[in-house]
Amino acid sequence: MKKNQIIAAIDVGSHALRMKIAQISNHGQMKALELLRYPISLGRDTYAMGRVSFKTVDETCEILKGFKKLMADYGVKMYRAIATSAVREAQNRDYIADQIRLKTGLNLEIISNAEERFLTYKAIRENLSDHEKVRQEGAMIVDIGSGSIEVSVYRGGHLAMSQNIKLGSLRLREVLSSIEGRTLNFPKILEEYISSSIDQIHVIKEEEKYGNFIALGGEIRIIKDICNKEKGKEQEKIIEREHFIQLYDTLMDKSTYSISEEYGVSPERADILLPSMMIFKKFLDKTQATGIHTPLVSLRDGIISDIVDKKLHTKREEEFTEDIIASARVQGKRYEYDEAHAREVEAKALLLFDELKKLHGLGKREKLLLQLAAILHDIGKYIDLNRHYVHSYHIIMALELMGISWEEKQIIANVARYHSRAVPNDYDENFKELNGKNKVIAAKLIAIIRLADSLDRSHKQKVKEMRIVLDDKKVLVKVNVADDFLLEEWTFETKAEFFEEVFGVTPVLKTKRMMKHG
């Protein structure tokens, strides 16, 4: 990375467009140069009408042109512009991205919930003091966006659960706006609606309590300023629990107009303040936290951190990869997978991947996709043992895999889909949906996982040692085993054909029986 490079992060959000321009040293230190925020009604359009109006798209483009000019003034060479739920859920999302590209020259990425959450956690890691201690003690993280809520929990330093709920503060207001004029007790109706939408999620039903609570988005900065200003603690990034509850009880009796007037909050922010507090309180009640951590990070901070991680290959990048893998294992346990078998297939698949680099030409990211597919390949058995691989595909496509894009999830799901009997072909809708490049990547990973899975066909982990020797026309897989290995040998032979078709070399299994002691 060049010394003191200037980079930019643009967040096309539900009710605002935001940009951060920062100077990054070659050691990864960041200095903010510009922070911009312009209100926009993308979310109101999407949540009310299902699409963004052309007028709103034009307004968005005009603001982004200003961003682009400022980036040019600073000499920004590297940027990332992302869009979240308001654009992601709009029926005309592709047209929006195309108009922005044509009118502003900016390439807009429409990211998934899982990618959005991943970027947010990168920002937390950078801005929360004692973040390691907080994770070890156990923490619940609640991020309220305009369109959805992201809830995650950490146990023992690792991500244990993560879930997305389509219940953002702005979405709530839009959904319930027609009811507001028909009741004198709208806060009560709002509270009931939130409870009915949240009460059935796993983290609410479980008995475990968490020692820390981290709040993001959802007007948390305004909530913190109101609570702490009254106590003379404006600079603190923690809201004491009792102060939060006091403010919550006070706001329950106030109208949007009263909140705006009394606390100096704009009407548009005052409108979603109470819904945000209701959601936070619902989850706060499931913790033993004495206060609420408010690191006051934004998606822009996460984008900047992600650019730095990728360019400098930081230790933090490795830690977040471990979180992605940990979250996949949690999903495996949720679907009652055979953990010993999944770990055996994972280990063998990764060894094959590493030893056959010259053959497949894939990189670190594809290795991660293979690892996730190996962890999750059998979760379809939770639904039915027959054609379980098809069920695995559908479950994976329905999961929120943190830090994984939609296209990457398609690859993972297809690798799981074809790990067993069938091989991919363009008549299958799931495989046909992949673009040309991703079809090749998926095929290579499928060929590898099929061999790895065959080596534990009995689910008894018979392979004690394994070596790979790459010859011109053959891949020799040499294994030492202590038990009868006929089932695995037969399965290996049946799955070798697709490997040969993909790579043009024949895999050959060489088995050596180990003598049993005693």
Grouping H, G, I as helix, E, B as strand and the rest as coil, residue 478 is strand
**In this structure, are residues 393 and 373 in contact, taking their beta carbons and an 8 Å threshold?**
no
CA neighbours within 13 Å on the CB side: how many for 386? 0
What backbone torsions phi and psi does residue 444 show, to the nearest 5 degrees?
-65, -45
Sheet of 463-470: strands edge to edge? 463-470, 474-481, 506-513
Strand bridging mode 139-144 / 212-217 = parallel
String of DSSP letters for 225-271: HHHHHHTT-TT-SEEEHHHHHHHHHHHTT--HHHHHHHHT--HHHHT
String of DSSP letters for 111-124: --HHHHHHHHHHHH
- The per-residue pLDDT for 374 is 97
Query: What is the spatial distance between Cα 157 and Cα 464, in angstroms, rounded to a whole number?
Result: 31
What b/e readout covers 445-468, taking b as 16+ CB neighbours within 10 angstroms? bbbbbbbbbbbbbeeeebbeebee
Residue found by looking up tokens 């990425």 in the block: 109
Query: What is the spatial distance between Cα 504 and Cα 443, in angstroms, rounded to a whole number?
Result: 13
pLDDT digit of tens for each residue in the chain (518 aa)?
Answer: 556 789 999 999 888 899 999 998 877 788 889 999 998 888 888 888 899 999 999 999 999 999 999 999 999 989 999 998 889 999 999 999 999 999 999 999 999 888 888 888 888 877 777 777 888 888 999 988 777 788 888 887 777 777 778 777 667 767 666 666 676 677 777 788 888 877 777 666 677 778 899 998 868 989 999 998 866 666 778 999 999 999 999 988 888 888 899 999 888 788 888 888 888 998 898 889 999 999 888 889 889 988 888 877 767 778 788 888 988 998 999 899 999 999 999 999 999 999 999 999 999 999 999 999 999 999 999 999 999 999 999 999 998 888 898 999 999 999 999 999 889 988 899 999 999 899 999 999 999 999 999 999 999 999 999 999 988 789 999 999 988 999 999 999 999 999 999 999 999 999 998 766 54
- The per-residue pLDDT for 518 is 47
Grouping H, G, I as helix, E, B as strand and the rest as coil, residue 471 is coil
**Number of residues assigned to the chain:** 518
**In this structure, are residues 344 and 461 in contact, taking their beta carbons and an 8 Å threshold?**
yes
CA neighbours within 13 Å on the CB side: how many for 332? 23
What b/e readout covers 362-384, taking b as 16+ CB neighbours within 10 angstroms? beeebbbbbbbbbbbbbbbbbee
**Burial (Cβ within 10 Å: 0-12, 13-18, ≥19) of residue 24:** buried
Tell me which H or E stretch contains 1.
none
What are the tokens at 472?
């011109």
- The per-residue pLDDT for 3 is 63
Query: What is the spatial distance between Cα 172 and Cα 146, in angstroms, rounded to a whole number?
Result: 9
| Dihedral sign, Cα of residue 232, residue 236, residue 239, residue 240 | negative
Query: What is the spatial distance between Cα 374 and Cα 367, in angstroms, rounded to a whole number?
Result: 11
CA-to-CA dists, residue 319 to 25, 179, 314, 315, angstroms:
21, 46, 9, 7
Q: Which residues pair with 285 in a beta bridge?
A: none
Sheet of 5-12: strands edge to edge? 30-39, 16-24, 5-12, 78-83, 108-110
DSSP code at position 219 = T
Query: What is the spatial distance between Cα 239 and Cα 222, in angstroms, rounded to a whole number?
Result: 11
The domains found in the chain, sorted by start residue, are: 5-112 (3.30.420.40), 129-296 (3.30.420.150), 314-513 (1.10.3210.10)
Please give the sequence-ordered ranges of beta strands (E in DSSP) within 356-489, or none if there are none.
463-470, 474-481
361: nearest Cα among 419, 431, 441, 418: 441
String of DSSP letters for 422-433: ----TTSHHHHT
- The per-residue pLDDT for 253 is 84
Query: What is the spatial distance between Cα 439 and Cα 18, in angstroms, rounded to a whole number?
Result: 36
Tell me which H or E stretch contains 39.
strand 30-39
